[in-house]
Amino acid sequence: MATKVFTMKLEEELRDTFFEETRAADRPAAQVVRELMRDYIAQRRQAREYDDYMRRKVEQARAQRDAGQHFSDEEVEAEAEARRAELLRRAAGTGL
């Protein structure tokens, strides 16, 4: 694997504190920075994948809505209420 030099500007206090912490952990600062960068990349990929997943779900839901394959809130609530009533009726019949 080829390596490249990465130069960045930091506030002096941040740099000094970072180096103190890496020394206290007996870890090279470059190794810690690489880990932080890998973690950041993984987080961004995961966020992007989730955004893509949600976008597909919304597109699918819109297509179903446009095709008339959906239920209104009122219909869903009415169905849920009917199920609750049936469960309560059955429970009352068993003495629960």
- Residue 16 confidence (pLDDT): 97
Question: What pLDDT sits at residue 72?
Answer: 87
Is residue 4 included in any domain, yes or no? Answer: no
Q: Is residue 5 part of a domain?
A: no
Cβ proximity of 64 and 70 under 8 Å = yes
Decide if 33 is inside a domain.
yes
Confidence band, pLDDT 50/70/90 cuts, at residue 93: confident
Pure H helices in the chain: 12-24, 29-66, 73-94
The sign of the dihedral angle between the CA atoms of 68, 74, 77, 83 is negative
Average pLDDT value for residue range 63-83: 93
Mean pLDDT for 46-73 is: 94
Residue 1 lies in a domain: no
How far apart CA 79 and CA 81 sit, in angstroms, is 5
**Is 64 a domain residue?**
yes
Single pTM value for the model: 0.66
Arithmetic mean of pLDDT over the chain:
94
Segment 8-44, tens digit of pLDDT: 999 999 999 999 999 999 999 999 999 999 999 999 9
Q: How many domains is the chain built from?
A: 1
Please say whether the beta carbons of 38 and 44 come within 8 A. no
The domain containing residue 62 runs over which residues?
13-94
